Amino acid sequence: MIKFLKLSSFQKALNFCDLFSPIEDCEELNVFELNNRVSFEDVFSKFSLPLSNRSSVDGFAVFSEETFGASENTPVLLKLLGEQRVNDSPIDIEKGGCVRVATGSSLPGNSDGVVMIEHAKVSGDFVEIYKPISYFENVLKKGEDFMEGSVLINKGKRINFRDSALLAAAGFEKVKVYRKPRVAIISTGDEIIPYKEEISISKVYDANGPLIVNGIKNYAEALFFGIVKDSKKDLEEKFEYALENCDCIFISGGSSVGERDYIEEVIKNFGEIIHHGFLVKPGKPLLLGKKNNIPIIGFPGHPLPVMIHLNLVGISVLKKLGGDKNCYPKSDKGILGEPVFSVPGRVDLVMGYRKNNFIIPLLSKSDYISLATKSEFIIKIPEDREIILEGEEVEIYLWD
């Protein structure tokens, strides 16, 4: 029978990702496919943008000093010399003159500002200016967006849709990104049955397999190895194949105290145990191990603690393997709207939601799966607190 001889602090579970290095393997993707992928290298701009000074408004390009003193009662009168369209090459203007421009038009080469069309009026061959402008007002200067040779995206940044727009504007059709880690997912337990079978008092359907597969798809390639009964030989066969073909192994069930729990023994045969058992609720039996740079996580059997520790520990590990420099769980703070009780000496992780800008805990048993669908985040109750009162500040972990 497995016994928890020494329970580790919850912080050690959060720091588990520090034991691993990114997988130094990449693929090249089109800019249309980059969202939520991690840049494999620093991406440098090949030119400056804009290529020339451009107008940021519709209006009239001028010498800014010639607008000084303009007002509604005493407008400045400038000769209209022509129009600079967006696709036209820059032209020059003469003193005492102005050129009509549109948003995005290149500025006439020797002008230094644009009067907004709302502050001007065309009168025959002249334009009346009703408001003065400062030097380079309403102008996007050459290279002001980004300069040639500047870093657009740093190595290890998770690319979002805004980044993809920047890369496309900079002329990048393809970008190198880290390969997603391949994760072997194994559900264990004699009580788990396929969905086509009839459920009974002593049997349950596998909730953890779909939970983990869907939970990691943004960060990894999920390979579901199916349901393995509590048999050491079956686990060893799956394990051996997973270690040869995958970058990470997630197992659910089989890590709690029990005579037929072979997870720890199998991991020791192939790798090493780093921690088994934590001062945390839920998730005390969480198991963390590894073989070289391959993380091995044994989740508890109940889906609720699996959700929590997949979010806080599992996804952090996958982010690290996938090259993401920001691999730790996303956190925030808020004001508690109701008191919450705990047991000193352990961290309590309680699901919650926000109501009227207050943090409200959702309290229930660990196997109430429906609770998670109502939660917006996870509330952390520190190990040195027995009660946190209404109005106190708490730390929350956001769902990834």
Per-residue pLDDT band at 261 (split at 50, 70, 90): low
pLDDT of residue 240: 95
Q: What percent of the chain is modeled with pLDDT above 70?
A: 96
Give the CA dihedral 200, 206, 207, 213, nearest 10 degrees: -170
Q: Is the pLDDT of residue 1 over 50?
A: no
CA atoms within 13 A on the CB side of 46: 7
Q: What 3-state class would DSSP assign to 333?
A: strand
Distance CA 77, CA 123 (A): 9
């036209």: which residue's tokens? 88
Mean pLDDT lowest for which of 165-179, 191-205, 251-265? 251-265
Cβ(379)–Cβ(335) under 8 Å? Answer: no
DSSP structure string for 273-332: EEEE-BSEES-TT-EEEEETTEEEEEE-SSHHHHHHHIIIIIHHHHHHHTT-S--SPPEE
Q: Is the pLDDT of residue 164 over 80?
A: yes
Identify the CA nearest to 256 among candidates 301, 296, 190: 301
pLDDT tens figures, 70-109: 999 999 999 999 998 888 877 888 999 999 999 999 999 8
Distance CA 228, CA 174 (A): 41
89 vs 13: which has the higher pLDDT: 13
Tokens of 324: 């993401």
Q: Averaged over 183-206, what is the pLDDT? A: 90
34 vs 253: which has the higher pLDDT: 34
Q: Is the pLDDT of residue 140 over 50?
A: yes
Cβ within 8 Å of residue 127, ≥6 positions away: 60, 77, 78, 79, 80, 98, 120, 121
Q: Averaged over 277-298, what is the pLDDT? A: 96
Distance CA 63, CA 297 (A): 67
Task: Supply angle C-alpha 182, 399, 387, rounded to 5.
Answer: 130
Q: Averaged over 308-330, what is the pLDDT? A: 97
State how beta strands 347-355 and 182-188 pair. Answer: unpaired
Maximum alpha-carbon separation in the chain: 96
Q: Averaged over 345-352, what is the pLDDT? A: 95
pLDDT of residue 74: 96
Q: Is the pLDDT of residue 255 over 60?
A: no
Distance CA 365, CA 374 (A): 14
Identify the CA nearest to 314 among candidates 366, 372, 250: 250
Q: Is the pLDDT of residue 366 over 70?
A: no
Distance CA 205, CA 193 (A): 5
Identify the CA nearest to 261 among candidates 304, 290, 232: 232
**Alpha carbon 302 to its chain's center:** 26
pLDDT tens figures, 71-81: 999 999 999 99
Distance CA 291, CA 23 (A): 14
Per-residue pLDDT band at 367 (split at 50, 70, 90): low
Q: What 3-state class would DSSP assign to 91?
A: coil
Q: Averaged over 137-160, what is the pLDDT? A: 96
Please count the residues of the chain: 400
Provide the mean pLDDT of the chain: 93
Identify the CA nearest to 55 among candidates 153, 138, 131, 115: 138
Q: Is the pLDDT of residue 260 over 50?
A: no
Q: What percent of the chain is modeled with pLDDT above 90?
A: 80
Distance CA 320, CA 8 (A): 22
Q: Averaged over 317-334, what is the pLDDT? A: 97
Distance CA 303, CA 365 (A): 11
Per-residue pLDDT band at 3 (split at 50, 70, 90): low
pLDDT tens figures, 209-244: 999 999 999 999 999 999 988 778 889 999 999 999
In this structure, how many other beta carbons lie within 10 angstroms of the beta carbon of residue 6?
8
Q: Averaged over 325-354, what is the pLDDT? A: 95
Cβ(333)–Cβ(393) under 8 Å? Answer: yes
pLDDT of residue 202: 86
pLDDT tens figures, 372-391: 888 999 999 999 999 999 99
